[in-house]
Amino acid sequence: MRIVVFCHSLMSDWNHGNAHFLRGVVAELLDRGHEVRVFEPLDGWSRASLVVDQGADVIDEVYRVFPSLRSTSYDPREPDVPAMTDGADLVLVHEWNEPSLVAAVGAHRAAGGYRLLFHDTHHRAVTAPEEMARFDLRHYDGVLAFGRVLRDLYLKRGWTGQAWTWHEAADTRHFHPVEGLGRRGDLVWIGNWGDGERTAELHEFLLEPVTRLGLTARVHGVRYPDSAKKALTAAGIRYGGWVANHRVPATFGSYAVTVHVPRKAYVTALPGIPTIRPFEALACGIPLVSAPWDDVEGLFAPGVNYLVARDGAAMQRHLTDVLHDPALAQSLREHGLAAIAAGHTCAHRVNELLEVAGELGLKTGTTA
């Protein structure tokens, strides 16, 4: 098939975790012989912020690490949708695009010629429904939502007539165990501070346990306010700033354990959506201890693939157990890796995408 993807950025993952999954999906599609074209806006916010933060050479490194992946920049003020979608069989438009672009692609799709899907990987449908209501999806064939509860919400509100659950997953081309690096510390956490969406949770499930246990810990991420950096310092945690996502496996390989601290929306309003970080951590074979989230879709086996800490005290106990019980740590590694291999790689998600395309009448070839 000829597939076109409109996203905020394929080449920058600076405060843009969607790039992780999109890279894996595009690479998998290319490996299977599909033709894929990716378009991102000229001077998109993530890419521009990355260059300011790290310098222009960082984009060249992304090209070296992902030699098969390329994107074409376009002027968002004058998108040439007919040219960009010429010859396409399937077009995916990610939710981190301007409403004007979403509407322009939909208007062009109204004349027929390809199947068109909207891809949502955010909590705004719950936390900021007025923002999502700006997207004109009248001419879209349906929505790919990264959780069942979000899929059902699109249908309930009448934003679309068809919707499918399409969780994120690990790109196992890059996310796998990296051995022999030597131990740099006890615990590492990779994630952004969260714009106030999990500040209390980060204190309870990360900063306070590290302090009380006296762990050697490091945190990576961007958009940390001064108050957050001061809190990390007070907790004895080193702040490492941005880390390229393709370097995360080596980072995980240098520490004994990591944690998952979901944002409030994924705990209270969007159960069943873990976001991409737990998939990637498990794929790298690092033991994972998670703050509470409700795995209503049964993606994993809590207590087997990872441990769940219901409060800060439980987090301390679990971290202590993992750090001092080699058999437990090894069991979590093995079962975490097995869970990813069984159903949560980008290859699995491409199979699901091709099944949806088949339902829409496209000839997709065989799934892997």
pLDDT in tens, 276-307: 999 999 999 999 999 999 999 999 999 999 99
Helix (H) or strand (E) holding 260: strand 255-260
d(CA 180, CA 194): 32
What is the tens place of the pLDDT at every residue in 24-42?
Answer: 999 999 999 999 999 999 9
Is the model's pLDDT at 228 over the cut of 70? Answer: yes
The mean predicted confidence, pLDDT, of the chain is 95
Residue appearing with tokens 């995916």:
92
Instruction: Break the chain into its structural domains and give their ranges.
Output: 2-169+345-359, 185-343
Give the architecture-level CATH label for domain 2-169+345-359.
3-Layer(aba) Sandwich (3.40)
The SS3 call for residue 246 is helix
Q: Which pLDDT value is given to residue 194?
A: 67
Judged against a pLDDT cut of 80, whether residue 366 lies above it is answered with no
Contact between 91 and 116 (Cβ < 8 Å):
yes
What pLDDT score was predicted for residue 88? 97
Mean per-residue pLDDT, 11-34: 96
One-letter identity of residue 359? E
- Would you give the end-to-end CA distance of the chain in angstroms? 15
Helices assigned H by DSSP within the chain? 18-31, 45-54, 57-65, 81-84, 99-109, 124-127, 129-132, 148-156, 199-202, 208-213, 226-234, 248-252, 264-268, 276-283, 312-324, 326-343, 346-359
CATH of the domain spanning 185-343: 3.40.50.2000
pLDDT at residue 203 tops 80? yes
Phi, psi of 320 (to 5 degrees): -60, -45
Phi first, then psi, for residue 239 (nearest 5°) are: -100, 120
Q: In this predicted structure, which of 119-123, 310-314, 329-333 has the lowest mean pLDDT?
A: 119-123
pLDDT at 301: 97
Q: Do domains 2-169+345-359 and 185-343 have the same CATH topology?
A: yes
User: If pLDDT is split at 50, 70 and 90, which confidence band does 265 have?
Assistant: confident
Task: Tell me the two tokens of residue 150.
Answer: 């979000």
Residue with tokens 């087997």: 304
